[in-house]
Amino acid sequence: MSSIDQYIYTCLGVIECPMPYRYFSQQANIQPIQVAIYRLRQDISEFETDFQGSEGDILVGGGGGEAPAMRIRMPEAMLLYTNWNRFEQEYPDLLIDELYSTYWSPTQAFMLCTGYETLGWNPENDRIEQWLMEHVVSFLVKHFADDYKQFIGNDTLDCDGKICHTLTDEEDRIWNWKTHKYGI
């Protein structure tokens, strides 16, 4: 069980991170790790140690028991990348670095970033957090536009979101097991 499973969420998709290491010690061999993209459907308890977040935020990774988490504040990140003028009006004092929080150790970051490099991340050009955040926002615009239509503007994103994919039916049954089992 992962830390995220204590909460109500919807898994929207995954990133296949082809890192050259065994992330979990019980893995028989090296294989890509699936990093889930979750939309929180409730606020996270202040006592949670693996991540924080509010209803509507996005978590990339589910914390303990799976990939470490990165929180993306929504709708602020959507506005930043697709509707800059509105972002500046509504959040004039908000810094880009305040739109995300990471909950990974240096070793976990190294392992994941080695995989993200093979997907196109260049540490000389981009901070990993901003590169991931823009890919996830692009993914949401392409596949979940109706959910975010009140925030999406006409600004063009530099990242295309192709590192993310929507869930297959089988992945949906696995990642959204609580919805299928309990109807939540």
Give the DSSP per-residue string, 84-153: HHHHHHH-TT--GGGGEEE---HHHHHHHHHHHHHTT--TTT--HHHHHHHHHHHHHHHH-HHHHTTT--
Cis amide prior to 32 (ω within 30 degrees): no
Tell me if 78 is assigned to some domain: yes
Q: How many domains does the chain have?
A: 1
The pTM score is: 0.94
Give the range of the structural domain holding residue 158, as residue numbers without chain letter: 3-178
Q: Which residues on adjacent β-strands are paired with residue 60?
A: 37, 70
Tell me if 183 is assigned to some domain: no
**pLDDT tens-digit profile of 160-182?**
999 999 999 999 999 999 988 88
Using pLDDT thresholds of 50, 70 and 90, give the confidence band for residue 29.
low
Q: Summarize the confidence of residues 44-56 as an average pLDDT.
A: 95
Element (H, E) at 14: strand 9-17
Instruction: Name residue 119's amino acid.
Output: L
Q: Which residues on adjacent β-strands are paired with residue 36?
A: 14
Please tell me the predicted confidence (pLDDT) of residue 26: 55
Instruction: Name residue 108's amino acid.
Output: Q
Is the pLDDT assigned to residue 34 strictly greater than 70?
yes
Tell me if 184 is assigned to some domain: no
Higher pLDDT, 167 or 22: 167
Using pLDDT thresholds of 50, 70 and 90, give the confidence band for residue 22.
confident
Closest CA to 136 of 61, 62, 86: 61
* Average predicted confidence (pLDDT) for the chain: 93
Higher pLDDT, 56 or 2: 56
Task: Please count the CA atoms within 13 angstroms of the CA of 22 that sit on its side-chain side.
Answer: 7
Please tell me the predicted confidence (pLDDT) of residue 32: 85
**pLDDT tens-digit profile of 58-104?**
999 998 888 899 999 999 999 999 999 999 999 999 999 999 999 99
Cα-Cα end-to-end distance for the chain: 17
99 token code pair: 């739109």
Asked if 94 contacts 76 with a C-beta cutoff of 8 angstroms, the reply is yes
For 15, 46, 78, the CA distances from 49, given in Å and listed in that order, are 23, 8, 26
